[in-house]
Amino acid sequence: MREIGIDQLDDLARGAGILGTGGGGDPYVGKLLAREAIRRHGPVPVYDIGEVPPDATIVPVSGMGAPTVLLEKLPAGTEELTALRALEAVLGRRATHIVPIEIGGVNSMIPIAAAAQAGLPLVDGDAMGRAFPEAQMVLPTLIGVRNTPMALADDKGNTLVVNAVSNHWAERLARAACVQMGCQVSCADTVLRGDQLRDGLVPATLTLAEDLGRAVRLARAGHADPVAAALGVLGGVRLFTGKVVDVERRTTGGFARGRARLSAVRGETGTLELDFQNEHLLARRDGEIVATTPDLICVLDTDSGEPVTTESMRYGLRVTVIGVPCDPRWTTPEGLALAGPRYFGYDCDHRPLPAA
């Protein structure tokens, strides 16, 4: 067991922003929420998967909605605890632990805030190993865990509990409700037992995010290459370094969808296009696909190594795009059916990342 306090939040948010593949919401907003919750309630204990009792009740807490909305519609700070209490009322029992549903952006910070507010420990892991745009795109789906009942809460105090016939239907119903609730809600769902964590979570991703954020910070302080430092932690490959020359972005159906185009700088040649739905899903270099979901396509500021989210992508930014292998469970036939490129409508199969 260790603790997450205020001093760990900067590195953790930076690393989670990178792992979020452009999505998961602005980590800065989540960091503010977590910082205030820890300031009021104290540090949050964090347990490894193996330290959690088999009969424990573990609840993922997260945000749902378009990340672009979060830039203008800040949370009230009460939504995550309200969603948790609404779910507990339906379950008829209290949660014993909180866990992130994804290790991406604000969705890595919201569980910290919820755990501090509820006086509960966190589990060191998440259900994706990255960020995905839809609620059923979690490893628990692959082992038959239902994501309902799913409790939603908005900034006004409204709550809604969704019960659905499948995890896909839960996403459809909850997304429609999310749009009506202002395109930004907090969720508590996909309840796990302690004995399901090894199959249902990617382990130690909170630790990974903190290590990643620290490596980037130290590289920058030492005048080294922060992108190389990130790749050293993640074991990924550099795909492209360029300048953002065009961004097409729209908020529709509760998602931020669009495409960004980069032109080469620093000795590179050609162009790179990124397609995204909250998260980056496909990368094409000079028209050729070089990376696809479910592998991680991460965009970093070339000079600082800071993560660049899809909602903050704008003309003129100098960025480096890296590819990172996903958890191997995502490249099984079942994983690809759930979150591979064909699910999102692309007429291609998963392309393994090029060699480093």
Per-domain boundaries in the chain: 2-203, 225-339
Please tell me the predicted confidence (pLDDT) of residue 343. Answer: 95
Please tell me the predicted confidence (pLDDT) of residue 254. Answer: 66
Cβ partners under 8 Å of residue 3, min gap 6: 43, 44, 45, 46
Give the mean model confidence (pLDDT) for residues 66-76: 70
Please tell me the predicted confidence (pLDDT) of residue 1. Answer: 83
pLDDT at 25 over 80: no
Give the mean model confidence (pLDDT) for residues 176-190: 92
**Residue, of 53 and 27, whose pLDDT is higher:** 53
Sign of CA pseudo-dihedral 34, 86, 205, 351: negative
Range with the poorest average pLDDT among 61-75, 214-228, 329-343: 61-75
pLDDT at 104 over 90: no
Percent share of the chain, pLDDT over 70:
98
pLDDT at 355 over 90: no
pLDDT at 267 over 90: no
Which superfamily does CATH assign the domain made up of 2-203 to?
A: CV3147-like domain (3.40.1610.10)
pLDDT at 167 over 70: yes
Instruction: Return the exposure string of 303-329: e unless at least 16 CB atoms fall within 10 Å of the residue's CB, then b.
Output: ebbbbbbbbbbeeebbbbbbbbbbbee
Give the mean model confidence (pLDDT) for residues 14-19: 95
pLDDT at 211 over 70: yes
**Residue, of 67 and 140, whose pLDDT is higher:** 140
Q: What is the band of 356 on the pLDDT scale with cuts at 50, 70, 90?
A: low
CA R_g for the chain: 19
Six token digits for residue 179: 């749009």
pLDDT at 71 over 90: no
Mean pLDDT of the chain: 93
SS3 assignment, position 177: helix
- Phi/psi for 61 (5° steps) reads -120, 135
Q: What is the band of 68 on the pLDDT scale with cuts at 50, 70, 90?
A: low
Q: Hey, which residues does 40 pair with through a beta bridge?
A: none
**Residue, of 164 and 69, whose pLDDT is higher:** 164
Range with the poorest average pLDDT among 116-120, 178-182, 221-225, 236-240: 178-182
Please tell me the predicted confidence (pLDDT) of residue 26. Answer: 76
SS3 assignment, position 213: helix
The fold of 225-339 is CV3147-like (2.40.390)
Q: How far is CA 355 from the centre of its chain?
A: 25
Six token digits for residue 290: 């070089």
Six token digits for residue 94: 């209290």
Please tell me the predicted confidence (pLDDT) of residue 7. Answer: 96
User: Taking a C-beta distance cutoff of 8 angstroms, is the pair 300, 319 a contact?
Assistant: yes
Give the mean model confidence (pLDDT) for residues 199-222: 98
Please tell me the predicted confidence (pLDDT) of residue 257. Answer: 84
Range with the poorest average pLDDT among 130-134, 211-215, 228-232, 326-330: 130-134
Predicted TM-score (pTM) of the model is 0.94
pLDDT at 29 over 90: no
Question: pLDDT tens digit string along 242-251?
Answer: 999 999 988 7
